[in-house]
Amino acid sequence: MATLLPHVNSVKEKALQIFAEKFGEQAIVCVYAPGRVNLIGEHTDYNDGFVLPMALPMVTVIVGKSHNDKKTRIFSLSNVVGDINEFEFKAGNRADIKPGEPKWANYIKGCIANFICDVPAFNAVIVSTVPAGAGLSSSAALEIATYTFLETLSGKKPEKPELKALACQKAEHDFAGVPCGIMDQFISTMGKEGYALLLDCRDLITKQIPMLHLDNYVFLITNSNTPHKLSSSAYCERRDCCYEAAKILGKKSLRDANMNDILVLISQNVSESIVKKARHVVTEIQRTLNAAVALQKSDFQQFGRLMNESHDSLRDDYEVSSKELDSLVSAAREVDGVLGSRLTGAGFGGCTVTLLRKDAVDKTIQHMKAKYSGTPTFYIATPSGGAREIS
């Protein structure tokens, strides 16, 4: 059976109750932001390419209230937080806020530092159902939830939602030290119920793709429960390879490269590793565009094929899969009714996403469990809405 996710309202009730116990009064601001699953378009965001994620029913909820003394106090209940789940710091000039320990608080501090104005001190409780380190964007959910909380608290919003996503990406770069692309913050902000989001990471133009006639099909997320280590050098190394390839080709980014350019790299005796990384990016950008067309046409067979090709390219060319992810993907593909399966997120661990017929869900889960050496968790991914205030 797939794990049942609590409804956002029950997460909110829990957060409100903890707030009342902790701070002896009622919270008045309640917001949430979702995690996401990327359906296709992996390691393309920082290459100015296309991505096709959807927002999940997994959410980070923040409830709180501003007050007149000088200290902001945050209490967090999520699996990201180790032993220290309470944190306080001096509110005031946002330019004075610096990253430090505990690490989880840096996402929050980074958002306050990158907000459009100074905010008063506040008390807050954070409760999240987005698993951490699983490639489902727990970090973006925390950032976007924080930013949304600050918007509601201050009554001020940036002119465009893009600026919110960019401010949170900057928080992740500067405060968490993760040089991530823009996909996660965008989908957590702009997710729409029933839609996937095609995002052009070059000019930040978005297109909502309706997931029509999905009735008989469903996306299944499988958490390998082998956490990925993102800030680990592997992500940065891949990024540097791509930038190097673009530089050799005299292009601004690999978005401007095509298969001929891959041949150019080969003819110039560029290292095989760089050629393969570039080839993944070039082919993945095209696959993502093709997948968006297939989804729009409800051509799920084609969508599934493209998911399979994406995984194979991530495994063989980009070299970011793991034996756990490969084994989950192979097991899924063995079941009749499965149209496609791939790793999702940065790789090295985390989750897979599988497109399959609804009536094949139970036997697919059973088969994947039987074939997998570890203990996986399963979630049905329904396309959900982006961050908002909850009244």
Active site residues: 184
Closest by CA to 51, choosing from 61, 36, 66, is: 36
Q: In the complex, what is the shortest distance from the CB of residue 256 to ligand NG1, in angstroms, rounded to a whole number?
A: 18
Q: How many residues bind ligand NG1 (CB under 6 A)?
A: 18
Q: In the complex, what is the shortest distance from the CB of residue 43 to ligand NG1, in angstroms, rounded to a whole number?
A: 5
CA gap 109, 114 in Å, rounded: 9
Q: Closest CB to ligand NG1 among 7 and 323?
A: 323
Helices (H) and strands (E) counted in the chain, each on its own, are 11, 12
Residues ≥6 apart with Cβ < 8 Å to 61: 8, 11, 12, 15, 30, 31, 32, 126, 127, 128, 145, 390
**Pairing between strand 71-77 and 122-128?**
parallel
Q: Per-residue x/- marks for ligand NG1, 302-341, CB under 6 A?
A: ----------------------------------------
Closest by CA to 354, choosing from 362, 366, 369, 364, is: 364
Closest by CA to 110, choosing from 173, 165, 30, 35, is: 173
Among 12, 43, 255, 315, interactor with ligand NG1 by CB under 6 A:
43
- The region of 40-48, 82-90, 300-308, 360-368 touching ligand NG1 under the rule CB under 6 A is 40-48
Stated length of the chain:
391
Contact flag: residue 284 with ligand NG1 (CB under 6 A): no
Among 34, 110, 131, 181, interactor with ligand NG1 by CB under 6 A:
181
Q: In the complex, what is the shortest distance from the CB of residue 44 to ligand NG1, in angstroms, rounded to a whole number?
A: 7
What are the two backbone dihedrals, phi and then psi, of residue 206, each rounded to the nearest 5 degrees?
Answer: -120, 155
Contact 148, 116 (CB under 8 A): no
Contact flag: residue 230 with ligand NG1 (CB under 6 A): yes
Q: Closest CB to Mg ion among 49 and 349?
A: 349
Contact flag: residue 60 with ligand NG1 (CB under 6 A): no
Closest by CA to 355, choosing from 338, 372, 377, 333, is: 338
Q: In the complex, what is the shortest distance from the CB of residue 19 to ligand NG1, in angstroms, rounded to a whole number?
A: 28
Among 8, 97, 113, 180, interactor with ligand NG1 by CB under 6 A:
180
Closest chain position to Mg ion (CB): 139
Q: Closest CB to ligand NG1 among 79 and 366?
A: 79
The neighbour count for residue 369, using CB atoms within 10 Å, is 15
Which positions touch ligand NG1 (CB under 6 A)?
38, 42-43, 45-46, 135, 137, 139, 172, 178, 180-181, 183-184, 228, 230, 345-346
